[in-house]
Amino acid sequence: MTVGPVDRDQATAEFFDAAARGQFLLRRCPRGHHSEPAAAQCTACASTELAWVPAAGGASLVSWAVAWSKPGHGSDQAATVLVIAEFDEGPWWWSCLDGADPARLAVGTRLKVAFRNGGGEAVPVFELAG
Amino acid sequence: MTDSSELPALPDSGPRAVRPGRRPVIAGLGMTELGKVYGRTPAQFAGEAVRLAVADAGVTMADVDGLLTSSGVTGGVSVDLQRELGLTDLRLLTHMQAYGSTAGSMLAYASLAVQSGLASVVACVFADSPLRPERGSGAIYGTRHAGSGWWGLLGASGVVGANPMYALAARRHMERYGTTSEQLGHIAVAQRAWAALNPAAQMREPITLADHQASRWIAEPFHLLDCCLVSNGGIAVLVTSAERAAAMAQPPVPVLGWAQCHPGRYLRRNPDFGLVSGAAIAGQAALAMAGVGLADVDVAELYDCYTFTVLITLEDYGFCPKGEGGPFVASGVLGPGGKLMLNTGGGQLSGYYMWGMTPLSEAIIQARGHGGDRQAAAHDIILVSGNGGVLDHHATLVLGGQAAGQ
């Protein structure tokens, strides 16, 4: 599984610092709602007092797609399994799924977050849990 | 919580409540050559489209006192178009962008401007020229996001462009309701059959369900034939009042209803993702404004960036119950000779891809009765959809045929 290169900017610096340690950061408001890391305010109550908190790492499969490269240059088509995963804390994340046969996937399949490096910051991906 | 039934009823603010002379109508349609047309900028296409729409209406550029512009993936169209067209003393000028829902929204704002008296002849234009002779269509919308921040991370994760995002939406619908790729194929096959009757369509060779199933994967569950074309060109529409249109060249097409819905939650947890779109709210609102029901709709021109977009829009508009779009489109209702006059020009899948101007332009042609070999026998009420983002933006229009203009 190859991920691409990505650089940090001001908004993503803390997220990528944690990714380098193997942690996926979510945002949490004072009332305990979790939001996606890119959220500028709580998706449940609109609070802007958001703390960074690490996700436990467990997630469930919401949906998946298999992206195929365009054939050509004598090479076979390459496929990447892309997923929407729901972290156990609630927020959703979009990335690729490593090492899974798409024919064996179902809504709710258990996943865990992992990290890969494509020549920049660490990129969160998913693997099958267990 | 406020129970909306306790609120006093608002006076109807739709076109039917307006002094008849000021009711908004479409009086002009301009379409440049569309498809693999190279060597011209979006601004050049936009300028030509407006000139064609003005000529179509039988008026002159001096009659135009409003201009709404919109651009596609390559940009290049803006309020500067006023200068290129030599328009002076405009009463209305702005650039709009809500992706594939923009055309429907432009028509709504132009209609509001006409019925309020803000402007009297408003040109609405879209143009784009992403195709290059040396570059495939897929490369245009499949470019990875530039490499930093949240967008860079999405691209680095492999989630690149619209294809995988809509594929994720379609897969969720399939898992929830049992929708199949073959069912989606019925939409592609029917629209190709319509395109064969449309001289302006880019893809006119008939296809079969087997062709659909055998076409290469783009992003499973989407085959190539589930995905729209990419086109160069421009389309403009002229909106004016019924009063003014009476002296113009074309049969006026009344704009009877309009609505938008932008559900939000893009790249956030969204229980509705792939299951319900903004069409559910916008469709009902636009029909209510027009004072008609779904049973009155003679022709539907629905945004079809993917076959799946058509299916979820049919469900959300109420043509079939939620979740039954698959069996519905496979039941033989589609295509020339079918019960449902849907995407009669071939749509974006087989006709031409001018974002929201694709369904709108075909709706105008049908409303006027100018559809030639593909003309629907009944065309008094025409439902038009626009869709943008990943089912994030929706616009609905209800247009009238000749009977509705009386």
One pLDDT digit (tens) per residue for chain B, 406 residues? 445 445 554 456 688 888 888 999 999 999 999 999 999 999 999 999 999 999 999 999 999 999 999 999 999 999 999 999 999 999 999 999 999 999 999 999 999 999 999 999 999 999 999 999 887 777 777 655 558 999 999 999 999 899 999 999 999 999 999 999 999 999 999 999 999 999 999 999 999 999 999 999 999 999 999 999 999 999 999 999 999 999 999 999 999 999 999 999 999 999 999 999 999 999 999 999 999 999 999 999 999 999 999 999 999 999 999 999 999 999 999 999 999 999 999 999 999 999 999 999 999 999 999 999 999 999 999 999 999 999 999 999 999 987 544 4
Same domain assignment for residues B284 and B245? no
Indicate which CATH number applies to the domain containing B195.
3.40.47.10
Contacts across the A-B interface (CB distance below 8 Å):
129
Same domain assignment for residues B317 and B240? no
Of B303, B306, B317, B352, the active-site residue reads B303
Same domain assignment for residues B235 and B299? no
A7 CB neighbours in chain B (<8 A) are 147-149, 152
Tokens of B310: 């058509």
Same domain assignment for residues B191 and B335? yes
| Rounded-to-integer distance, Cα B152 and Cα A4, Å | 9
Same domain assignment for residues B301 and B318? yes
* Number of folded domains that form chain B: 2
Same domain assignment for residues B348 and B373? yes
| Rounded-to-integer distance, Cα B114 and Cα B124, Å | 13
Tokens of B365: 């042609």
Is the residue at B154 inside a domain?
A: no
Question: What does the pLDDT read at residue B50?
Answer: 98
Same domain assignment for residues B61 and B102? yes
Is the residue at A3 inside a domain?
A: no
Is the residue at B6 inside a domain?
A: no
Catalytic site includes residue B353: yes
Same domain assignment for residues B29 and B177? no
| Rounded-to-integer distance, Cα B400 and Cα B380, Å | 5
Question: What does the pLDDT read at residue B405?
Answer: 45
CB contact under 8 A, B274 and A63: yes
Domain termination residue (choose one: B216, B250, B284): B250
| Rounded-to-integer distance, Cα B32 and Cα B200, Å | 10
Where residue B318 falls (left for φ over 0; alpha for ψ -120 to 50; beta otherwise) is left
The residue of chain B nearest to residue A43, with distances taken between CA atoms, is B268
Same domain assignment for residues B212 and B274? yes
Is the residue at A83 inside a domain?
A: yes
The residue of chain B nearest to residue A5, with distances taken between CA atoms, is B156
Pairing of strands B66-71, B92-95: parallel
Is the residue at A4 inside a domain?
A: no
Q: Which residue type, as a one-letter code, is found at position B69?
A: T
Task: State the sign of the Cα–Cα–Cα–Cα dihedral B38, B39, B41, B45.
Answer: negative
Where residue A99 falls (left for φ over 0; alpha for ψ -120 to 50; beta otherwise) is left
**Run of H or E including B189:** helix B181-195
Which structural domain range is residue A76 located in? 10-128
Is the residue at A5 inside a domain?
A: no
Question: What does the pLDDT read at residue B146?
Answer: 57
Where residue B378 falls (left for φ over 0; alpha for ψ -120 to 50; beta otherwise) is beta
Compare CB distances from B268 to A62, A92, A96 and report the shortest one's residue.
A92
Interface test with A, best of B165, B171, B177, B268 (most A CBs within 10 A): B171
Quote the minimal CA–CA distance from B178 to chain A in Å.
13
Question: What does the pLDDT read at residue B142?
Answer: 65
Domain termination residue (choose one: B250, B285, B302): B250
Is the residue at B263 inside a domain?
A: yes
For residues B303-319, one letter each, b for 16 or more C-beta atoms within 10 angstroms of the residue's C-beta and e for the rest, the string is bbbbbbbbbbbbbbbbb
Cα-Cα end-to-end distance for chain A? 19
Where residue B323 falls (left for φ over 0; alpha for ψ -120 to 50; beta otherwise) is left
What are B's interface residues with A at a Cβ cutoff of 8 A?
Answer: 136, 138, 144, 147-150, 152-160, 163-164, 167-169, 171-172, 175-176, 216-222, 265, 267-270, 273-274
Query: Does residue A114 sit at the B interface (CB-CB below 8 Å)?
Result: no
ipTM for the whole predicted complex goes beyond 0.90: yes
Compare CB distances from B159 to A77, A95, A121 and report the shortest one's residue.
A95
Query: Does residue A35 sit at the B interface (CB-CB below 8 Å)?
Result: yes
Same domain assignment for residues B291 and B207? yes
Q: What are the pLDDT digits (tens) for B79-91?
A: 999 999 999 999 9
Nearest to B90 by CA among B105, B98, B80, B76: B80
Question: What does the pLDDT read at residue B20?
Answer: 87
**Run of H or E including B72:** none
Is the residue at B74 inside a domain?
A: yes
* Number of folded domains that form chain A: 1
Same domain assignment for residues B218 and B102? no
Which structural domain range is residue B77 located in? 15-131+231-250
Whether this model's pTM surpasses 0.90: yes
Nearest to A4 by CA among B151, B179, B230, B29: B151
Is the residue at B246 inside a domain?
A: yes
The residue of chain B nearest to residue A40, with distances taken between CA atoms, is B268
Query: Does residue A66 sit at the B interface (CB-CB below 8 Å)?
Result: yes
Catalytic site includes residue B317: no
| Rounded-to-integer distance, Cα B268 and Cα A115, Å | 21
Question: What does the pLDDT read at residue A77?
Answer: 61
